[in-house]
Chains A and B, each alone.
Chain A
Amino acid sequence: MSPRQECAGLRADRVSWSVSGRRILDEVSLECGPGTVTGVIGPNGSGKTTLLRVLAGLRRPTSGSVEIGNDDLHRLNARERARLVALVEQGATTDLELRVRDVIGLGRTPHGSRWRTGMDARDEVVVATAMDAADVAHLADRPWQSLSGGERQRTHLARALAQQPRILLLDEPTNHLDLQHQLDFLGRVRRLALTTVAALHDLELAAAFCDRLVVIQDGRLVASGPVAEVLTTPMIAGVYGVDAAVGAHPVHPRPHVRWNGVISAEC
């Protein structure tokens, strides 16, 4: 990556978020060191997406705060936030006939003057670098509508990188992708060495690509810490209702999960 600001640490302090009287997030705290990849795991509906949206500044927490470096995220204005945090959403689509280059160029929106309408030389350089990092340079002039799922996700990643954020947030970035593309995408993210928080579905992927894990269940933080400490048989049983054995991976220095079956007695 071209020279940029040092990536920052992210701190969420007892963040809660409610809507229509329902508590979606309940006093979640987490801390991510600069340059680390943190995985957020938990069953569907546990509040992972909401947590990411709060961390991105898209939703204001009903209590608690989010800090990036030394800045309180929600005290900043939208443009300042967008220069600090970039979010890759799940399957964001458009009907417009944009080229890949245009989509990535959107990432430059928070930079430069508010009234700017075009890209200058500096913007072009950043976009080109982002395209290389996400390996979509060869697709630059292709229409968005013609891309495959994997290519679209990488384009979104490039767009997020074009924002030159200090924190990268990914919301289930590998859903709907082939296994090969899943591994490729997450490997690429890891190599960026940018502070990253990724909501992930698949425990194996989480184990392979994250430094730390955070487990959310029913909006509450259930466990957090290094992968090996968090990914345990009791945790998987309690949160997922699945009986699994966690052992050492035969090749790589990380945990490996083997399913045994559903725990039927558990409610």
Chain B
Amino acid sequence: MRAALDRYVVVAVALLILAAVMATALGIGAVHVPVDRVLAVVARRCGLGDHGVSLLEDQIVWQLRMPRVLGAAGVGAGLAVCGAVLQSLTRNDLADPYLLGISSGASVGAVTVLVFGVSFVGLAGATAVAVAAFVGALGALFVVLVLASGRGGTLPPARTVLAGVAVGQACAAYTSFVVIARGDQSAARRVLDWTLGSVAGVRWGSSVVLAVVALVAVVGTTAVAGRLDAFAFGEDSARSLGIDVTRTRWMLMVGTALVTAVLVSYVGAIGFVGLVVPHMVRIVTGPRHRVLVPVCALVGATFLVAADTVARSVVADQEIPIGVVTGVVGAPFFAWLLRRGRAES
């Protein structure tokens, strides 16, 4: 009974914090829009009167900031959940959503379009980059899964991690080579920007996709929370508890890879969220997935919305890449985690 109440309390608190952070983010930006005007824009769009909202105010608050904040929330939630799943599946604290070569593969696709300036299957510009990134991510996933499948098609965690590292290195080599050999300064800068990730380009269409993908990831993962819990003592222990380990691994790894691939192809490879948020959340909720997963989603969303808000407001006239903000927060947190672990053992 107490456990249930705690669970609902934690989720409710996390939800409230997320809502507050998102609302704050709507009011912050390069152009100063007073709080009452922000509310006026939102009210108007929800059919509650006109309030004399100007086109510029609507463009800024509703067409730019709202989808951006929603998109950031979706990406943060999705990455955090995928990170939590992979950490449990591989029993590796350093696992993150890019374990299976997703971000490296996506880079290969994106960089190829950015440097060679191709129009790809009739698409051009940002759409071409996104599609190429997705295709690249799937390609890398395929290679990693082929390399990692052990005897009988199992995916032993150690082998999977190594396969991911190998493919990641190969992709990184290709990316560097292409940029140096063929890229001019403009292309090199765009590759760097893409690699560090950004939610600045998210408009309504993209944000809905991102939010839906994140929702699917959260709901789907919570549904298999029991199975993930069973991995606590290793794969044989999970098997003896009735889990089809191989099938569960394939399903979850491919599932998280697909979710991550979609997220990365829209916003680039934003780091640290999938790695750090599960650890943060586990401290509060414990490792049981039924609570861990939804709270990871909420905290991941909050984290990324906050990071994006900082990224676009801390330096006047310029947006810091969001990957830098998540890194600046994530790295010290990780150091603290290590110290805490050392003190306790």
Contacts and interface: CB of A to CB of B under 8 A. Distances in A.
Determine direct contact between A and B, CB below 8 Å: yes
A89 B236 contact: yes
Contact of B242 (A81, A89, A94, A96): A81
A2 interface: no
Nearest to B345: A145
Q: Interface centre among A77, A107, A117, by most B CB within 10 Å?
A: A117
A118 B286 CA distance: 15
A80 B243 CA distance: 10
A172 to B, nearest CB: 14
Interface stretch (A3-11, A98-106, A181-189, A246-254): A98-106
Q: Interface centre among B232, B241, B286, B287, by most A CB within 10 Å?
A: B241
A78 B242 contact: yes
A107 B241 contact: yes
B37 interface: no
B236 A98 contact: no
A94 B233 contact: yes
A116 B244 contact: no
Interface in A112-133: 115-118
Contacts of A220: none
B241 A115 contact: no
A96 B241 contact: no
A102 B4 CA distance: 14
A263 to B, nearest CB: 36
Contacts of B93: 95
Contacts of A78: 239, 242-244
B280 to A, nearest CB: 14
A81 to B, nearest CB: 7
B149 interface: no
Interface residues of A, number: 34
Contacts of B224: 115
A95 to B, nearest CB: 7
Contacts of B237: 89, 92
Contacts of A95: 91, 93
B243 A97 contact: no
B241 A117 contact: no
A110 B244 CA distance: 11
A16 interface: no
B226 interface: yes
A56 B239 CA distance: 9
Nearest to B248: A78
A109 B233 contact: no
A92 B234 contact: yes
B223 interface: yes
Interface string B1-37: 0001000000000000000000000000000000000
B84 to A, nearest CB: 12
Contacts of B312: none
Interface in B224-256: 224-227, 229-230, 232-234, 236-237, 239-244
B317 to A, nearest CB: 45
Contacts of B222: 117
Interface string A55-78: 011100000000000000000011
Contacts of B289: 117
B282 interface: yes
A130 to B, nearest CB: 14
Given A109-B226, A116-B226, A118-B290, A98 B232 contact: yes
A86 B243 CA distance: 13
A263 B223 CA distance: 60
A86 B232 contact: no
A83 interface: yes
B288 A79 contact: no
A53 interface: yes
A117 B290 contact: yes
A38 interface: no
A94 B232 contact: yes
Contacts of B233: 89, 92-94, 106
Contact of A58 (B226, B239, B288): B239
Contacts of A99: 286
Contact of A82 (B223, B225, B236, B241): B241
B232 A110 contact: no
A96 B234 CA distance: 11
Contacts of A163: 241
A102 B286 contact: yes
A87 interface: yes
A109 B230 contact: yes
Nearest to B238: A109
Contacts of A89: 233, 236-237, 240
Contacts of A83: 242
A117 B226 contact: yes
Contact of B230 (A80, A86, A87, A106): A106
Given A98-B286, A109-B243, 4 more contacts: A78-B244, A86-B240, A96-B282, A116-B226
Interface of B: 4, 91, 93, 222-227, 229-230, 232-234, 236-237, 239-244, 282, 286-290
Interface of A: 53, 56-58, 77-83, 85-87, 89, 92-99, 102-103, 106-107, 109-110, 115-118, 163
29 contacts: A56-B240, A58-B236, A58-B240, A78-B242, A78-B243, A81-B242, A82-B240, A89-B240, A92-B237, A94-B233, A96-B232, A97-B287, A98-B288, A102-B229, A102-B286, A106-B230, A106-B232, A106-B241, A109-B229, A109-B241, A109-B242, A109-B243, A110-B242, A115-B224, A115-B226, A117-B222, A117-B289, A117-B290, A118-B290
